[in-house]
Structure formats: C-alpha cells, structure tokens
Amino acid sequence: MISRIKGILRRQEYKKILENMISLTGLQFASYILPLITLPYLTLVLGPEKFGLTQYAISLITYFQYLTDYGFNLSATRELAICRDDNEKVSNIFSSVMTIKIILTIISFIVLLLIITFIPKFSADANIYLLTFGMVIGYVLFPTWLFQGMEYMRYTSILNIIGKVIFTVLIFVFIHQSSDYILVPVINSLGFIIVGILGIYIALTKFNIKLIIPSIKSLKYHLKEGWSVFISTIGINMYTTTNTFLLGLLTNNTLVGYYTIAEKIVLAVNGLLNPISQSLYPFISRKVSTDDKKTSIVFIRKLTKLMAIIGIVLSLGLFIFAEPIITILFGNAYHNSITILRILSILPFVVSLSTVFGIETMLTFNYKKAFTSIVMLGGILDIILGIILIILMREIGIAISFAITETFITVAMFIFLQRKGIKIINRI
C-alpha cells in the first residue's frame, strides 16, 4: 500500500513528505506521549478531584485556543503551500494572521475575566484558570501553520519536544503532594510560552519574513478564508472539549478525572495518525489545484485503505488491552476509566477515515461549507446526546455520545463524497 502511494509521488516530493511525516511523528510524541509519562504520576499525587480540576481548567482554556487559532492551521497552511516561494506574499500572510491572532487573544482574556468574575463555579478557582491561560499565549506565538505550509515541520517537532521535556522534568521536580496542584498550570503554561517565543524567532529568521502592518483588506480576506474552518472547528470542539466541559458542569471533578484519563489515552493513539494526514495535506492541496482531479482521487483511495488498516489495528489494541493499560499506569483508583476507554476505542478507526474524507478530500476539493455543516450537525448531536446520557449514565454516557458522534460524522462525509462523484470506495 505504501509503495503504491510512493509511486504516485515524485522522488523529491516523497522525500519532503517523508521528512515532514517523521517530524510530525516527533510532534505527536511530544504532544501526547510525553504527557502520558507524567499522567500516572499526577493522577497518583493529586488524586482524582484535584487532577480533574486541572483538566477541567484546560477544557475551558481550550475554547480560547480554538478561537485564537481561527482555522488558520488549515486555511493559512493552504495559502502558504501554494505561494511559499513568494517571500512578499508569505510575509503578508504571516503579518495578517498574527495580527488577527493577537486581537483574538486580547478578546479571549477579557472573556475569561468576565467568566471568573461573574460565575461562581469558576471564581472559586480563579487562579487556576488565569494561570492556565498562559497556554493560549504560547499557542498563539508558535506558528505551526507557517511551518506546516512551508513544509518544514522538523522545527515544530524539535521545539515542541523541548517544551514537553521541560514540562515533564518540572512536574517531577516540583509536584510532590495534592496541594501542589496550583503549580500544574504554571508549569504547563511556561512550557507553551517558551516554545512559542523560540518558534516565532525561528520563523522570522529562517524564512526571512518581514513584519508589516497588514491592510484592512488583507485582514478581511484571511478572516473570510478561515471562517468556514473556524466554524467547523467549533463543531469539532462541541464533541471533544465540550464533552469534558459538560461532564464537569453536570457532575463533579472526580468524574472528569476518570473520563479525562481514557480520553487522553485515545487522543494519544489518534495522534499517531496525524503525521500522515498533516504531512500530505499541503501536497494534496497543490495536486488538486494543479493536476487532474482523477489522479488525486486515486491517491486518496490508496490513502484511505492505508489509514483504515492502521485505524483498525489501533482500535483493536485499545479495546483488548484497556484493563491492563488503566490498571498498570493509573492503579485501581481509576478502575472506572476502563469501561470508558473500551467505549472510546472505536475512535482511532473512525477518525482515520473521517480525516481522509474531511480534511484531505472535502477541504482540498473546496467543499468547505458542506464540511462545516456536517461537523456542526455532529456537534449539535453530541451536545444533545451528551446532556441526556450524562444525566442517565454520567461519565459512561458522554463516552457513548462521543463515539456515536464521530461515527455519524464519518458516515455523513462518506455519503456526501459519493453523491458528488468522488467515489473513494470506487466499487460502490
């Protein structure tokens, strides 16, 4: 399968994609695997309640990360992939996107202040939420979208690994008892901000970017380009981050802790699929815009088979080994997480397909509105199902809702593409 995909690529393209894939694998290792090293330690030292609180704070702050990202990780990446050899255009895109991100960061902080001031549930732990906001600052500074669009992902990987190593070391050095939970968001934010500063420095020097004051026209253009992806990101957020947020609102921090353990493991496994998708996205974007679309569809069909095989293996592994994974890593105190992990084990397979159907195909073929609509419908479905099932089954209910939602989105995307004549499975 891999040899067939390789056959479609020119040698130079293959080497660049392979390099980016390796770099992105390192990035996923930094983003998901390294935190899993500290996870058993934190759950043991902090206990389910305090651990759940720190994770609940992250679920709130993640909303602001999505807002400040505004879909640029896809829209700006695509723009840069097309004009990456034009330094003037690259500088304009960079300046415009960063200006918008800074404005959105200021708006986000004001909204956070209002939340912790007027809502008692959040004001009781205001310091935790304020300290966790540092993640947003670091996230805004680090131009992942630039490195991805310019296809130099090794910088992203190296810097993120540095940040996660700093986080990992500091956790073991400073967190020794439950009362140290206040230091968790400090250490987390510090890692993000250090990496963000290094990233912005490398971006400016490596690509010879000249900072300019962007025109209103340019700002409007990038806001418009990122809008559909941003709306779809909100939809995705409805059935990812919002799951944790809803569970915390309707139950307690302890159950958030049980659910978060299982979800983090699944996200770490899903992260193994991201390097393939992210490294191929700029290539497929160029191929669809310049080559015969039939050739692109043939490539996507082969990619679908590869991703499906990997997804099935990962899902089966999670389901079969759920109990030893939870028991060995986190102990009997988190026994409730075993059932949650088994329910969520379907996600690697489903997500492997939805990534190809949605990002690699619908977005590259410019079906942005349809992509957004499907994801938004999925988000609405998850919220409705989530509220009902949390009331009936608590943390088990939200896991079931998550699995149903991802499956619905994948099937909906597949049906849409088939009706548009993009027959990824060409025998249907």
pLDDT digits (tens, 9 = 90+) for 270-303: 877 776 666 666 667 666 666 667 777 778 888 8
Tokens matching residue 279: 């490294």
Low-confidence ranges of the chain (pLDDT < 70): 1-36, 153, 232-233, 235-239, 275-283, 285-292, 426-428
Q: For residue 242, give the amino acid letter.
A: T
* Token code pair at residue 426: 């060409």
Instruction: Give the Cβ contact number of residue 220 at 10 Å.
Output: 12
CB 335 within 8 A of CB 327: yes
Are 335 and 258 in contact by the 8 Å Cβ rule? The answer is no
The pLDDT score that the predictor gives to residue 32 is 61
Residues 232, 372: contact at Cβ < 8 Å?
Answer: yes
In angstroms, the CA 92 to CA 95 distance is 5
pLDDT of residue 334: 87
Q: Cα separation of 270 and 110, whole Å?
A: 33
What gap in Å lies between CA 339 and CA 399, rounded to an integer? 9
Token output for 236: 């995705």
Cα–Cα distance, 191 to 363 (Å, whole number):
32
Token pair in block for residue 89: 């255009």
What are the angstrom distances between the C-alpha of 130 and each of 45, 110, 136, 192, 352? 23, 11, 11, 15, 35
Residue by residue, DSSP assigns 249-264 as HHS-HHHHHHHHHHHH
Q: What is the pTM of this model?
A: 0.71
C-beta separation of 380 from 232 below 8 A? no
Under DSSP, the state recorded for 56 is: H
What residues contact 56, with CB distance under 8 A and at least 6 apart?
Answer: 244, 245, 248, 253, 256
> pLDDT at position 17, please?
54
Provide DSSP, 313-361. Answer: HHHHHHHHTHHHHHHHHH-GGGTTHHHHHHHHTTHHHHHHHHHIIIIII
Residue 99: the pLDDT is: 94
**Separation of alpha carbons 212 and 204, rounded Å:** 12
Token pair in block for residue 2? 């891999």
Single-letter amino acid code for the residue at 239: Y
Angle at CA 224, nearest 5°, toward 223 and 229?
Answer: 90
Q: In whole angstroms, what is the distance from residue 7 CA to residue 14 CA?
A: 9
List pLDDT tens digits, range 114-169: 999 998 889 989 999 999 999 999 999 998 888 877 877 677 777 877 888 888 88
pLDDT of 314 reads 94
